[in-house]
Amino acid sequence: MAKKSVSRKKMVSSDESAAKGRKARARKILAALHELYPEAECALHHASALQLLISTILSAQSTDVNVNKVTPVLFKRYPTANALAGARATDVEKIVKSTGFFRQKTKSIIGTCKAIVENFGGEVPDTMEALTTLPGVARKTANVLLGTWFEKNVGVVVDTHIGRLSHRLDLTWTSKDSKDAVKIEQDLMQVIPQKEWTFVGHALIWHGRRVCSARKPNCEGCTLNKLCPSAFSPDLNGHGDAKKRGRSRN
């Protein structure tokens, strides 16, 4: 029994040490991101919670640049949730077609606006529980709204950029790959202070677009390369995950 007790203590000590190490390195990465992108913010143009919600729905499988081209037309014609709730699907589809998957997105937009009008008095709700009852709104979209517009750090947004960089920077240890958004978010929430959850999402997205792209990461020009276990690795695959990670750099 004594040997088992000692073994368990060693395991607990080892786990605690690993957790402290991850947090320490994550803080260094966070500090570097603040230096690189002190003004990091959402790239989707919006002037209200509704506009940000609709823009986020449209951004799925599309670029923010493309979304920002169509939303001025959409919001001028349909400025309120009530207006969009009563819109004809074919008319909305014509406006948002270039964002891709336009029929499903139109269905989600109109359905969401109907729910906002019928269940929330025409105002976009400000809780995770309420937002995720809206058609086409899952946790990722709700996190965008809560953090960016309502300034509530309830969770961390995990899109393709954040998933990719979380794996390359070894900020996730329980997820199976860069698409495992649920576990990536849980891991990030453990190593990043809650007050930084919204910022780190925006900053990682900016870094993923400007430096650490999916196919050709610019490790040479990346100021995070000393903190990145995947830097200069020949084993980065098309999903942005390192097949074989090197040692974590402190």
C-alpha to C-alpha distances, 195 to 26, 39, 140, 200, nearest whole angstrom: 14, 15, 18, 10
Q: In this structure, how many other beta carbons lie within 10 angstroms of the beta carbon of residue 57?
A: 23
Cα–Cα distance, 204 to 39 (Å, whole number): 12
Assess whether 159 carries a catalytic annotation.
yes
Catalytic residue from among 105, 159, 170, 241: 159
Q: Could you count the other beta carbons within 10 Å of the beta carbon of residue 159?
A: 18
Residue corresponding to tokens 């008319």: 91
- Measured distance CA(77)–CA(92) in Å, rounded: 10
Annotated active-site residue in 140, 170, 187, 241: 140
CB proximity list for 131: less than 8 A, separation 6 or greater: 124, 125, 137, 141, 142, 145, 146
Residues forming the active site: 140, 159
